[in-house]
Copies of this chain bind each other. A is one copy, B any other.
C-alpha cells in the first residue's frame, strides 16, 4: 500500500481541517470578484486607478511613502536588494541561512543579480544583534524575515529588533523586511504594521499567506526606491499589462482577514498546547508568536503516517496535510492557522488529540 498517497487522501477526505483558510480552488477568485463592478477598467502596465488605489492603501497601512504591487515576493525582494546594492556600489547582502532567497529561488539573486549573501547566525536560531554587529562592513543591506518561517516562525524581542535597526542606520546598512507574514505577527508585538515598518528601509508583504489571497506582493519604501523598483519589475517580466486578478483578490482577502490575526494567534497557541501534550511531540516555538508553528515528532514519517491516517479516518479531523523527515528517526510539519480552525467543534479536536496521544504512547 502506498501510505503517502493514502495519507494525503485521508487528510483531503476529512470533514474538519485544523489549518489554513480552505481549498485553493477557483472559488477563491470567484468570491473576490462577486461584488466588483464588471465595468471596472483593468490596470495597464502598472498604471490606472485599480492598481494605484491599492498601492496607496498599502503604503498608508505600512507607513511608507509609496508602494508597488508585484506578482511575487521572489521578484520584489531580489529587486529591493539589487537597488540597495546598486546605491552602495557593493554586491553583498546579509541574511539568515534559511532565507527564502537562499533556499527557494533557484539562486535568482546570484544568477540574475550577481549579489552574494553573507549568511548570519546558525540555521536553527534567529539572527541577533551580536551577529549583526559582527558581520563584515561591506554589506549593502541586511534582510530580516519576521517571523523566521523555516524555524517555526520565531521572532526576536522587539527591543532587539529596535537595536538591530539602530545599528544598521548608524552603519549606513539598509534594512529590508521579508514581511511575507507581517500581518500575522502584529498581535504578538502589539504594534501597528507602520510602527514595525518604521524600523526598516524597505518592506515586502504577501497576500497569500495568512491573508489567503491568490498571489501577489507589495513592496514599499521611499519614492526613489519604488520608482526604481518599477524599472526592475519591467526587466524581470513582472510589469504585466493586467495584474488585476491578483490585486482585486489581495484587497478582498486583506479586508476580510487582516483583523482576524489576533484570533489566529490565540488559536495557534491553543493548538500548539494540544500538540505539546502528546507523547513525543513538541512544537517550535513552544508557544507560537503568530498563526504558525512547526510540530516535531520523535518518530519518522513512515511510522507516523499510518497513525495519523487512522486518526483522520476515525475522527474526521485532519491535523496535518503532509510530513517531512527531519532525521532518520524524526519528522515534522508546519501549521498555519486560518479561518478553518474556528469552524471545528472543540470536542472533535479533543477526541482527535486523545487518539493521537494514545497511539503515540504505544510506540
Chain A interface residues toward B at CB < 8 A: 23-30, 33, 36-42, 44, 70-76, 78, 105-108, 111-113, 208, 214-215, 231-232, 234-246, 248
Number of this chain's copies in the complex: 2
Contacts of A33 in B (CB 8 A): 26, 29-30, 33
Q: Across the A-B interface, give the 8 residue pairs with the lowest CB-CB distance, nearest first.
A: A75-B237, A108-B235, A245-B245, A74-B237, A27-B38, A24-B42, A72-B237, A106-B234
A41 to B38, CA, bound (A): 24
State the CA gap A1–B117 with chains docked (Å): 56
Are A38 and B24 within 8 A (Cβ)?
A: no
Query: Given the complex, which residues of B lie within 8 Å of A245, measured CB to CB?
Result: 29, 214, 245-246
Are B236's CB and A112's CB within 8 A? yes
27 interchain pairs (CB within 8 A)? A23-B39, A24-B41, A25-B41, A26-B33, A26-B36, A26-B38, A26-B39, A26-B42, A26-B244, A26-B248, A27-B39, A30-B38, A71-B238, A74-B236, A74-B239, A75-B238, A105-B234, A106-B234, A108-B234, A108-B235, A108-B236, A112-B235, A208-B242, A214-B242, A214-B244, A236-B236, A245-B246
Given A75-B237, A235-B106, A242-B215, check contact A26 B40 (CB 8 Å): yes
Taking the closest CB of chain B, its distance from the CB of A101, in whole angstroms, is 10
Residues in chain B near residue A215, CB distance under 8 A: 240-243
Inter-chain contacts of A232 with B (CB < 8 A): 106
Given known A26-B33, A33-B33, A39-B27, contact A238–B238 (CB-CB < 8 A): yes
Q: Which residues does chain B contribute within 8 Å of A71, judged by CB atoms?
A: 71, 237-238, 240
Given contacts A23-B39, A24-B42, A108-B234, could you give 5 more A-B pairs where the C-beta distance is less than 8 Å? A26-B37, A71-B238, A72-B240, A75-B238, A236-B236
Q: Is the CB of B25 within 8 A of A235?
A: no
Q: How far is the CA of A106 from the CA of B238 in the complex (A)?
A: 12
Chain B residues with Cβ below 8 Å from A105 are: 234-235, 237
A330 to chain B: closest CB distance in Å?
26
- The answer to whether A39 and B24 touch across the interface, beta carbons within 8 angstroms, is no
Report the minimum CB–CB distance from A142 to chain B (whole Å).
21
Contact yes or no, B235 A72, CB < 8 A = no
Bound together, the chains give a CA A27 to CA B36 distance in angstroms of 10
Q: When A71-B71, A112-B112, A245-B245 are in contact, do A237 and B76 touch as well, CB less than 8 Å?
A: yes
Report the nearest B residue to A76, measured CB to CB. B237
The answer to whether A75 touches B236 (Cβ under 8 A) is yes
Report the minimal beta-carbon distance from A309 to chain B, rounded to whole angstroms: 21
CA distance A230 to B8 in the complex (A): 26
CB distance from A312 to the nearest CB of B (A): 19
Residue of B nearest to A238 (CB): B237
Give the residues in chain B near A214, CB-CB below 8 Å: 42, 241-242, 244-245
- Inside 8 A of A75's CB, which chain B residues have their CB? 236-238
Bound complex: CA A340 to CA B70 (Å): 32
